[in-house]
């Protein structure tokens, strides 16, 4: 289609079980989607044990696949740190993305509010929507985790436990498998911050379809603001393409699960771009209000490219991507490989 700008990016990470920190308590995050205030949600962190007198908490300056500086710390406010007795600890914000906490050996928990990026009106703060966050109370929450969750210096490989409190009737679409789920909350366990960033979620009243492609369970999840486009229709359109890719790869896919998370807006956006952001086991799509056939065609065309990223760069990538530096990012010179062969 030539009436809107289509941008496709890829995102991928190397998972590792090695830990730079002493084994122990994980990061324990809670995102409360039932407590929206001024288009923000509260984020609470029960921290791992800190063995330093001072520690720095980071939100990413950039994430893999976007190739742009977004400074996700801009969307964080009311950052506070407490000891076990609820006493406030000294906090100094160093820049847009970093907070230094003193008396950190006593640190027990952190709280702050996270704003979304979709409704941002400052041109200098615009974020490409598939890599951004959306908070629409009782409608939709696009949880690109790097917009809500951070990490401490030298502790990116400490495990995470993420609990999401959700409105009644909401379902969390994600490549992650919940270790506990109920009508009011879901809990996930994640190996490292790299895997956190690689694991988007979308919460809304479910409209999903499931496909079995070459032994892989493929989830198609849609939120259409106009409630016109249905997941089963889109799944039928892309199934033929995915089966062709399966056959090309020898009849079996190299992943056991994959999720298409698709947000269809009811108006053209402030950035003027639409497209997808690729992850290792999922892709996030942001599309304009088009007809069902047009939407299906766009998704099918994009998916043909994005889905092949399960081969490269999931299995083939540079060190800069596998152990990404979210504060001082170093760009890989292998984009020609990742995009050219898919």
Q: Note whether residue 222 is domain-resident.
A: yes
Q: Residue 301: is its pLDDT beyond 70?
A: yes
Same domain for 294 and 235?
Answer: yes
Do 193 and 59 meet the contact criterion of CB atoms below 8 Å apart? no
Please indicate whether residue 78 or residue 244 has the higher confidence score (pLDDT). Answer: 78
Please indicate whether residue 245 or residue 232 has the higher confidence score (pLDDT). Answer: 232
**How many domains, the chain?**
2
Same domain for 70 and 106?
Answer: yes
Rounded to two decimals, what is the model's pTM? 0.88
Same domain for 165 and 225?
Answer: no
Same domain for 289 and 252?
Answer: yes
The pLDDT, as a whole number, for residue 295 is: 87
Q: Note whether residue 166 is domain-resident.
A: yes
CATH number at residue 290: 1.10.390.10
Same domain for 177 and 218?
Answer: no
Same domain for 135 and 67?
Answer: yes
Q: pLDDT tier at 23 (50, 70, 90 boundaries)?
A: low
Q: Residue 6: is its pLDDT beyond 50?
A: no
Dist. CA 56–CA 274, nearest whole Å: 35
337: left (phi over 0), alpha (psi -120 to 50) or beta: alpha
Q: Residue 107: is its pLDDT beyond 80?
A: yes
Q: What is the pLDDT of residues 255-290, one digit of tens each?
A: 899 999 999 999 887 667 899 998 989 999 999 998
Q: What is the pLDDT of residues 155-180, one digit of tens each?
A: 999 999 999 999 999 999 999 999 99
Instruction: At 172, list the tokens.
Output: 């969390």
Same domain for 82 and 66?
Answer: yes
CATH number at residue 112: 2.60.40.3650
Same domain for 182 and 303?
Answer: no
Q: Note whether residue 22 is domain-resident.
A: no
Range of the domain at 36: 27-204
Dist. CA 201–CA 95, nearest whole Å: 28
Q: Residue 305: is its pLDDT beyond 90?
A: no
The pLDDT, as a whole number, for residue 291 is: 86
Strand order across the beta sheet in which 107-115 lies: 76-83, 107-115, 40-46, 27-32, 160-165, 185-190, 180-181
Dist. CA 90–CA 327, nearest whole Å: 22
One-character DSSP codes across 275-289: EEEE-SSEEEEEE-S
Q: Note whether residue 331 is domain-resident.
A: no
Same domain for 61 and 104?
Answer: yes
Nearest 5°: phi and psi at 161? Answer: -120, 120
Same domain for 236 and 109?
Answer: no
């Amino acid at each position: 289609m030539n009436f809107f700008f289509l941008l496709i990016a890829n995102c991928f990470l190397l998972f590792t079980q090695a830990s730079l920190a002493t084994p122990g308590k994980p990061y324990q995050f809670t995102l409360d989607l039932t407590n929206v205030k001024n288009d923000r949600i509260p984020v609470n962190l029960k921290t791992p044990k800190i063995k330093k007198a001072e520690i720095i908490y980071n939100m990413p300056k950039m994430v893999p696949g976007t190739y742009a500086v977004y400074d996700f710390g801009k969307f964080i406010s009311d950052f506070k740190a407490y000891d076990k007795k609820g006493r406030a600890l000294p906090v100094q914000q160093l820049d847009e993305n970093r907070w230094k906490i003193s008396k950190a050996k006593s640190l027990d928990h952190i709280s702050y509010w996270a704003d979304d990026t979709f409704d941002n009106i400052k041109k200098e703060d615009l974020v490409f929507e598939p890599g951004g966050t959306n908070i629409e109370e009782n409608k939709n929450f696009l949880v690109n985790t790097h917009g809500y969750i951070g990490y401490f210096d030298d502790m990116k490989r400490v495990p995470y436990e993420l609990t999401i409190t959700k409105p009644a009737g909401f379902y969390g679409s994600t490549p992650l498998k919940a270790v506990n789920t109920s009508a009011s909350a879901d809990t996930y366990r994640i190996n490292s911050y790299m895997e956190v960033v690689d694991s988007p979620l979308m919460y809304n009243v479910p409209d999903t379809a499931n496909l079995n492609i070459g032994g892989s369970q493929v989830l198609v999840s849609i939120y259409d603001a106009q409630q016109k486009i249905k997941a089963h229709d889109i799944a039928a359109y892309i199934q033929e393409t995915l089966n062709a890719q399966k056959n090309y790869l020898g009849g079996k896919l190299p992943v056991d699960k994959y999720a298409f998370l698709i947000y269809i807006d009811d108006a053209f956006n402030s950035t003027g771009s639409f497209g997808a952001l690729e992850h290792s086991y999922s892709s996030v799509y942001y599309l304009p209000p088009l007809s069902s056939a047009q939407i299906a065609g766009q998704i099918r065309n994009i998916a043909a490219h994005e889905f092949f990223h399960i081969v490269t760069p999931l299995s083939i990538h540079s060190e800069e991507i596998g152990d990404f530096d979210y504060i001082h990012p170093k760009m890989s010179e292998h984009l020609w490989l990742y995009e050219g062969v898919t």
